[in-house]
Amino acid sequence: MNDSCCVAPEGVKEELSRLLGNMVATAEARGDVLPLLKTLSELVSRVEEQLHPQLRHYLENRSYQKARAFLEGQTPCSHHHH
């Protein structure tokens, strides 16, 4: 049974959202984002093929705030009309 949205695999969406939130907060606090970047890139490389193309685009371009907003505002795939 697959009722998960096609933005990201089950569980990965939450992990990505948390990581991106931490990165944005750390960057704003002028903290060290390198460990977070490393974790993020490992996660993304593991599930890259399963990520929504738009989300992948944001991540590849390091648009982390956009990626996070996209994740949080994304509706389930059933809303795409082809």
Q: What is the pLDDT of residues 59-75, one digit of tens each?
A: 999 998 899 999 888 65
For residues 8 and 16, the answer to whether their CB atoms sit within 8 Å is: yes
Parent domain of 20: 12-73
Examine residue 33 and state whether it is found in any structural domain, yes or no.
yes
pLDDT recorded at residue 5: 53
Examine residue 2 and state whether it is found in any structural domain, yes or no.
no
pTM of the prediction? 0.75
pLDDT recorded at residue 10: 80
Neighbouring C-beta atoms of residue 16, cutoff 10 Å = 24
pLDDT recorded at residue 75: 54
Q: How many domains does the chain contain in total? A: 1
Examine residue 24 and state whether it is found in any structural domain, yes or no.
yes
Examine residue 79 and state whether it is found in any structural domain, yes or no.
no
Single-letter residue type at 73: G
For residues 23 and 36, the answer to whether their CB atoms sit within 8 Å is: yes
Ranges in the chain, pLDDT < 70? 1-5, 74-82
pLDDT recorded at residue 78: 41
Residue positions counted in the chain: 82
Examine residue 1 and state whether it is found in any structural domain, yes or no.
no
pLDDT recorded at residue 61: 94
